[in-house]
Structure 1
């Protein structure tokens, strides 16, 4: 009593037979493989009702039921739909869709879904990226984004991927490479993008030939939706949120913030061939964070010594210098301010007919930040070296401590926009995809102001002190300054300090504009091993500008105090609540700006200390253009379940830089300068091959060998030129247009598995071999080197040597859906990364250095519960220590590199979705209030540290979807 099941399978989009597709009768051992015509036969099937499961990589079909009789044949015809390909889809709504896209992608990717972004209290998308294996988030960058100034904002700014700093990444919005507005690097400041402004983030960890080639780290693509990502003809949502910053409340403030947003989509026309989507958001937050800046004081004011020295204060013989440090002073401060962000996205789609679609997209993000830092400075004076009990070994003795006060602002206005129009046209087996794009980005620091005061303006008596260290260390090695009664009285009376000047003002503007076009063409073959060929061209041209000008008012005559200037508006009861209990004044930024404006004249311009106004006006001015022409070709071969995609890309880059030259005459006297320029060009062939084996619909194994490169930062290529003549020798300090690009050969191996029981697992290994490495030096020269001979010498940045990165990433997620209700909503998700990243900097003694922003270990662990609209997520994030900067104290050796201490953070989210479209979510980031930033000199020494305490963030969101 048995029958036969037979049928025909074809690809819905092309009509081609689904050759070699596997057909299985669910719950049985009966199966068959379709022949070249897509036909299959399963014989001797017992009578009954069955469901058919199909396995055809890249395609799926709705479950098909079949009734098998006691005899005869049951016939079916099934059309398989092509699975959404990652590069074509804009939005995935949940982590399960994200896993499907990850498996079906042509390259190694990770995906953050819309739900992942909504269920977090992070400040921006940079911090959201930290949920992905292999990505580390840093809160500091180059220039005025670096050090404790940037970290004091208490938010992540940049993302490093697989051991490489952020400038080794390509950042995109909806496939458009965004402008790079940063002044000293090719990084993009991701902190200006809130999670609410985007819907899906795709982290490409390998690059196929059709992608931009300058991505050694990865390509981060931030996706926004279109109307066709929604099922309903019309839909939308309205969102409101409230935010509380705990550290601001510790200082007596309310710490409140919030925001609102909305989105709307509509499809119209006889066949709903038109679709529009628009969204907008606004949010704000207020912050008051605590700072300890002993490392900054050590760098800027010399507040450090060796604990055991020789008679001249050098490191004593036999002592490891890293473990022989003592802190002899520090800065303690408060960073208070606010941030406002707004922006939106819009899209228009027109499906003209089945063969032609047109689209337009635009995005815009704006962020304005005001931040003022009040620093109490306690600095060593009259340091001598006294004998110890060991012959020939001395120790420092701090004779006096100077008390000073310094206030500075770190304002920023940043924006980022993208625009594009394009089309997709099919004709037979051909697909044509033209696209025009434009982007601009700015990172400006307008109206930065500073003012300071000191007690030692007229006398150097200072405050008597004695000892070889200014601090003692409490639990967790937290530093506590040891104040004498006289010092304590002084720090509690900052307004009595003498004003040093009427202030200083700096205006910095940095931005880039980028536009271009690309044209991609693909041809799909109907049969044979060669499934498709694709080729295309892309041209982009960018222009960037950077100016930095500084005005200093000069000294204040007489005994005018800071209090006399009228810049204080109250008092913080404790400068560092829970640690240091002395008070410190609140400073009015407007009052400081008013004092400066009252006394400032245009002649106070002294950007570079020149006697000539024109030199001071232009010495920190750079302009440049960069044109990139690219062409690529790739083919896809399918042999059974194996896809082979060889490809090659070629990129030609032409860079022109304009900069100011500050010259001197033959006698060494400064003269009026002039603009000069230089040019750089690169030609990079980038071959690649990608192999993907999908033995079934739930499994993918990948192997890829690909090449990539990164162009040097503009400041390294075309930094301003200074000419100095001394003893008949002319030294020219300038950028180096002959710098080579950093090149990399990359190998990636990975496997991904999903189960029918709510599980997903992936394992990836990667290896990168770098050449011509260049580290992030900010505005300084990277690996500065003097060359030339005779009477003319050149001091320029130079390439380093080779670098090597390898590592392994493991990700797993399991929902325990087979448990009895209500426990079937429980689940666990985890990922872990172990990596090794070393490079030869090109400096003596730095030939095997750790790379910046590359922790050796990272991990995320999440426990979650999802049931009947209720969700609960408890997550833990860990990052091991990583290197921030090289040779921090300029001692010429790796032992004094600046490191970030390991970070640990616990986040909590809970939410509920009602049937009427209302949803509520509460998220708390950094639940245990760990320090958001802790940098220290020497990898294994915490004696000299910078610390930021930003507390925790709570975010409550209400959303109504209609």
Structure 2
């Protein structure tokens, strides 16, 4: 297994090390008064202390963790519309065991204990978006709608199945949560320093409850809107390949990058959210409710860039003599190429997502010892995606030089200014993609709880059933590439006519070049260059029409391609569970817990098309395409036992043991029934009279027969709650996972018309080997009330997670095609958080640092094949400061990425760079009013 090399301490580590040492000493000091219990102290008058703000949020989250019968971590927003972090995923990264991925600088996806199979809930119900169909993207959720977030790491039988990594439950507010009327409003502005522009947001909440002759009613409305901006600049090095023809290094095996480029994204995110809730309690024994939540997310992701690259393994690049140098391992440091292909591009992409959740139900206290509840839910989700890219080429004589010796790569083009010359710029190609995804789910559940009030071992018995139907349909064109111009073809058709001089109005100098890398990298990376006009590309219909008509001989499309990749799936699940809660307070070692089993059956139907492309025996020069419908059914039943034990070593010292079996269903993309089979022939394009030569037969597609991933897991935890807002904990965990989904290659037989049964080499997802995930988490949270003023207002949160995996390696190879053993994608072995806090009656300050070591991003990246792409270790510091003017008005100031950290990725080894990425530092100001 590749162990990435250390690249030195992350920036800010000296500060963090000092803070960790100080926090540990202070926390130990805090334990002394927690342990001291004297009769004098017991006789003292108890003073009521009202805790608010950040400390109140942490105290509420700690109470949830302490009182839960299962292992859970929580984040609570006691102040309306104010999670500790602005973004939901970025708030979750503070929890031990949780690691996040970022999209354009903002937290978007989470993994728990190294596994990305995380299920998302909304108020304890399943929720999803059709970007995935199994989970909700945290980008889609306005944080202002949430009252809190819970992370469950080992479930009980009464929890919905589906996440072998864990479950994230998003909680919204309900009107009966408050004692009376609440009115809240907030406005915000955020400066994005790389984008050098501002985004804005606003939210409002109204909640009230009132008594009538018909009982008590409650109503809540919560609205939010935000416009967030971003800019991401990237310097990209193309894959390294072994070469032996480099001047000065002839016959020596050296690793040479096959080109490089730069790219800039300048986009925005618009989020609109609304939550409505209604509660009615006709009497003390019955409550009825109805909730509605909708989240609309528009992600606008335009991009410009330019690349110099070599075809295949870079062998087409002609080295420039006396320009090359290499490190001691033979990796490229500097080098140049004569007349490599250059391609600039302008891309305009937009994704619109909308997820709406409706729910209604009741809780009825049938009698003192029996409670019955029921819930009906309907989720509807839609996602549309539109993407248009225009490519331009350069024909002038030029040389391209790479320099990888600095903190970031430099790409130089000679002669200077050649890329901003109007002569030699050609409209080269275009690409489009369109997709429409829809999904809906109906779920009904009923639960019955019987409490035993007899003082025995058994405290309650709970049983319930749940039934769901889910339908997913995705329609996608895939990326459709079309040439606009190029060299003359064998049949004499000329495609080399779409030049700049003929259509000057459709190209401009890249508008983002001057400010690239905050202006520091503008001239040392390519310099000014032409791209197809972003204004033209922003109107997709116009862009397709204009580019498609530049050269009528090209046959390029003038409208979006047909969405002919259609994946239709239906899924039904039915579950029944039984669970016993037990405990003995008067045992020598008091304990409580629950023991249960959940049995769930799943029925899946996948519909698709098998497409066979072949050549008839009597006319081998003509491709014939034959399509036939496919419907595949699959059913399986899993029994999922669970046990949660809690021993009370002292009143405030708990020892937990948890064991369970869980499952995660495969993604709908992997379950697709669509399949393509092709006979592959090699044609001589220069001479159409030459008979094609049969090479092999291949196929690819989804696998509707995939089994679910299952996990046998156990946790044991020691938790010490030495004050209402202070705790220490340590947790060991172990997961044995079966049926990992991998890309597999196998032989299968299919009949070809007129040729009988043939063997095809199939590439498709398959269930692979089992694996093991294990590790530990340690953490503390403390406010130092024992210190003299003003230091008694200091607080700290700190946690560390170690995760080790022995799991099937993703398909990965080195630059020579040799297999590599790599960790699970997205898994960092080491990660930690350190949060320093200070809070008075009016002021609250927080400094938070999050760090994780290197991890595999992908082994199937665009342009990198099966080379493993690693993200280097990454640490980020965020800060916030708030002030309460009075009980009504408050202001907060926050900075995300305070130290302006950049991201670095590499190709298998740190001395073979891939991406250097610069994102915004976000500086926000918010005003709130609570009435």
TM > 0.5 between the two? Answer: yes
Instruction: Give the count of matched residue pairs.
Output: 820
Q: What is the aligned counterpart of 2:390 among 426, 441, 451?
A: 451
- Separation in structure 1 between the aligned mates of residue 641 and residue 251 of structure 2, nearest angstrom: 51
- Separation in structure 2 between the aligned mates of residue 898 and residue 649 of structure 1, nearest angstrom: 39
Relative to structure 1, is the Cα distance of residues 873 and 802 closer, same or farther in structure 2, using a 3 angstrom cutoff?
same
Q: CA deviation at 1:715?
A: 2.3
Equivalence map 1:289-368=2 (5 Å): 289-294=232-237, 297-298=238-239, 304-306=240-242, 325-368=255-298
Relative to structure 1, is the Cα distance of residues 107 and 309 closer, same or farther in structure 2, using a 3 angstrom cutoff?
farther
Relative to structure 1, is the Cα distance of residues 918 and 497 closer, same or farther in structure 2, using a 3 angstrom cutoff?
same
Do 1:757 and 1:816's aligned partners in 2 also have CA atoms closer than 8 Å? no
Q: What is the aligned counterpart of 1:784 among 738, 745, 753?
A: 745
Equivalence map 1:398-547=2 (5 Å): 398-428=337-367, 429-446=369-386, 448-456=387-395, 462-464=397-399, 470-475=402-407, 478-481=408-411, 483-486=412-415, 488-493=416-421, 497-501=425-429, 503-527=430-454, 528-547=456-475
Q: What is the aligned counterpart of 2:736 among 765, 769, 772?
A: 769
Q: CA deviation at 1:904?
A: 1.1
Please state whether the residue corresponding to 2:195 is helix, strand or coil: helix
Q: What is the aligned counterpart of 2:76 among 113, 119, 122?
A: 113
- Separation in structure 1 between the aligned mates of residue 624 and residue 163 of structure 2, nearest angstrom: 43
Please state whether the residue corresponding to 2:161 is helix, strand or coil: coil
- Separation in structure 2 between the aligned mates of residue 110 and residue 286 of structure 1, nearest angstrom: 31
1:222 equivalent to 2:222? Answer: no
Equivalence map 1:542-581=2 (5 Å): 542-549=470-477, 554-556=483-485, 558-561=497-500, 564-568=504-508, 571-572=511-512, 573-576=514-517, 577-581=519-523
Equivalence map 1:620-699=2 (5 Å): 620-640=565-585, 641-664=590-613, 667=616, 669-699=623-653
Please state whether the residue corresponding to 2:169 is helix, strand or coil: strand
Match of 2:143 in 1: 195
1:7-28 Cα distance to aligned partner (Å, 9 max, x none): xxxxxxxxxxxxxxxxxxx997
Q: CA deviation at 1:831?
A: 1.2
Relative to structure 1, is the Cα distance of residues 849 and 708 closer, same or farther in structure 2, using a 3 angstrom cutoff?
farther
- Separation in structure 2 between the aligned mates of residue 489 and residue 188 of structure 1, nearest angstrom: 47
Q: CA deviation at 1:724?
A: 1.9
- Separation in structure 2 between the aligned mates of residue 597 and residue 27 of structure 1, nearest angstrom: 79
- Separation in structure 1 between the aligned mates of residue 272 and residue 852 of structure 2, nearest angstrom: 31
- Separation in structure 2 between the aligned mates of residue 617 and residue 93 of structure 1, nearest angstrom: 54
1:807 equivalent to 2:807? Answer: no
Match of 2:9 in 1: none
Match of 1:132 in 2: 95
Relative to structure 1, is the Cα distance of residues 355 and 800 closer, same or farther in structure 2, using a 3 angstrom cutoff?
same
Do 2:428 and 2:484's aligned partners in 1 also have CA atoms closer than 8 Å? yes
Q: CA deviation at 1:224?
A: 0.5
- Deviates further, 838-847 or 283-292: 838-847
Relative to structure 1, is the Cα distance of residues 316 and 684 closer, same or farther in structure 2, using a 3 angstrom cutoff?
farther
Match of 1:286 in 2: 229
- Separation in structure 2 between the aligned mates of residue 757 and residue 123 of structure 1, nearest angstrom: 25
Q: CA deviation at 1:339?
A: 1.6
Match of 1:19 in 2: none
1:755-780 Cα distance to aligned partner (Å, 9 max, x none): 138521111111101111115xxxxx
Do 1:172 and 1:219's aligned partners in 2 also have CA atoms closer than 8 Å? yes
- Separation in structure 1 between the aligned mates of residue 703 and residue 221 of structure 2, nearest angstrom: 45
Q: CA deviation at 1:444?
A: 2.2
Match of 2:705 in 1: 738
Match of 2:21 in 1: none
Q: What is the aligned counterpart of 2:110 among 131, 142, 159?
A: 159
Relative to structure 1, is the Cα distance of residues 120 and 906 closer, same or farther in structure 2, using a 3 angstrom cutoff?
farther
Q: CA deviation at 1:421?
A: 0.6
Match of 1:33 in 2: none
- Separation in structure 2 between the aligned mates of residue 49 and residue 203 of structure 1, nearest angstrom: 37
- Separation in structure 1 between the aligned mates of residue 733 and residue 844 of structure 2, nearest angstrom: 35
Relative to structure 1, is the Cα distance of residues 847 and 305 closer, same or farther in structure 2, using a 3 angstrom cutoff?
closer
Do 2:119 and 2:134's aligned partners in 1 also have CA atoms closer than 8 Å? no
Please state whether the residue corresponding to 1:755 is helix, strand or coil: strand
Match of 2:690 in 1: none
- Separation in structure 2 between the aligned mates of residue 916 and residue 843 of structure 1, nearest angstrom: 58
Q: What is the aligned counterpart of 1:922 among 868, 888, 893?
A: 893
Match of 2:844 in 1: 871
Q: CA deviation at 1:92?
A: 11
Relative to structure 1, is the Cα distance of residues 794 and 376 closer, same or farther in structure 2, using a 3 angstrom cutoff?
closer
- Separation in structure 1 between the aligned mates of residue 679 and residue 36 of structure 2, nearest angstrom: 87
- Separation in structure 1 between the aligned mates of residue 464 and residue 724 of structure 2, nearest angstrom: 42
- Separation in structure 2 between the aligned mates of residue 831 and residue 731 of structure 1, nearest angstrom: 50
Do 1:840 and 1:846's aligned partners in 2 also have CA atoms closer than 8 Å? no
Q: CA deviation at 1:307?
A: 5.9
1:952 equivalent to 2:884? Answer: no
1:237 equivalent to 2:188? Answer: no
TM-score, normalised to structure 1's length? 0.79
- Separation in structure 1 between the aligned mates of residue 873 and residue 651 of structure 2, nearest angstrom: 40
Q: CA deviation at 1:882?
A: 0.7
Relative to structure 1, is the Cα distance of residues 912 and 879 closer, same or farther in structure 2, using a 3 angstrom cutoff?
same
Match of 1:904 in 2: 875
- Separation in structure 2 between the aligned mates of residue 546 and residue 890 of structure 1, nearest angstrom: 25
Q: What is the aligned counterpart of 1:710 among 650, 664, 678?
A: 664
Q: CA deviation at 1:952?
A: 0.3
Relative to structure 1, is the Cα distance of residues 462 and 415 closer, same or farther in structure 2, using a 3 angstrom cutoff?
farther
- Separation in structure 1 between the aligned mates of residue 897 and residue 472 of structure 2, nearest angstrom: 38
Do 2:810 and 2:822's aligned partners in 1 also have CA atoms closer than 8 Å? no
Do 2:276 and 2:293's aligned partners in 1 also have CA atoms closer than 8 Å? yes
- Separation in structure 2 between the aligned mates of residue 273 and residue 281 of structure 1, nearest angstrom: 27
- Separation in structure 2 between the aligned mates of residue 315 and residue 738 of structure 1, nearest angstrom: 50
Q: What is the aligned counterpart of 1:174 among 78, 103, 123?
A: 123
1:350-387 Cα distance to aligned partner (Å, 9 max, x none): 11212111111121111112121101112247436899
- Separation in structure 2 between the aligned mates of residue 834 and residue 464 of structure 1, nearest angstrom: 48
Do 2:318 and 2:340's aligned partners in 1 also have CA atoms closer than 8 Å? no
1:824 equivalent to 2:792? Answer: yes
Q: CA deviation at 1:493?
A: 4.6
Do 1:282 and 1:342's aligned partners in 2 also have CA atoms closer than 8 Å? yes
Q: What is the aligned counterpart of 1:378 among 292, 302, 308?
A: 308
Measured on the aligned residues, the alpha-carbon RMSD in Å equals: 3.6
Please state whether the residue corresponding to 1:222 is helix, strand or coil: strand
Relative to structure 1, is the Cα distance of residues 193 and 494 closer, same or farther in structure 2, using a 3 angstrom cutoff?
farther
Relative to structure 1, is the Cα distance of residues 511 and 493 closer, same or farther in structure 2, using a 3 angstrom cutoff?
farther
Do 1:678 and 1:718's aligned partners in 2 also have CA atoms closer than 8 Å? no
Relative to structure 1, is the Cα distance of residues 920 and 574 closer, same or farther in structure 2, using a 3 angstrom cutoff?
closer
Relative to structure 1, is the Cα distance of residues 124 and 325 closer, same or farther in structure 2, using a 3 angstrom cutoff?
farther
1:473-527 Cα distance to aligned partner (Å, 9 max, x none): 213xx2112x2432x41344579621114x4332112232111101111111111
Q: CA deviation at 1:884?
A: 1.0
- Separation in structure 2 between the aligned mates of residue 842 and residue 331 of structure 1, nearest angstrom: 27
- Separation in structure 2 between the aligned mates of residue 784 and residue 716 of structure 1, nearest angstrom: 15
Please state whether the residue corresponding to 2:544 is helix, strand or coil: helix
- Separation in structure 2 between the aligned mates of residue 408 and residue 810 of structure 1, nearest angstrom: 45
Do 2:877 and 2:898's aligned partners in 1 also have CA atoms closer than 8 Å? yes
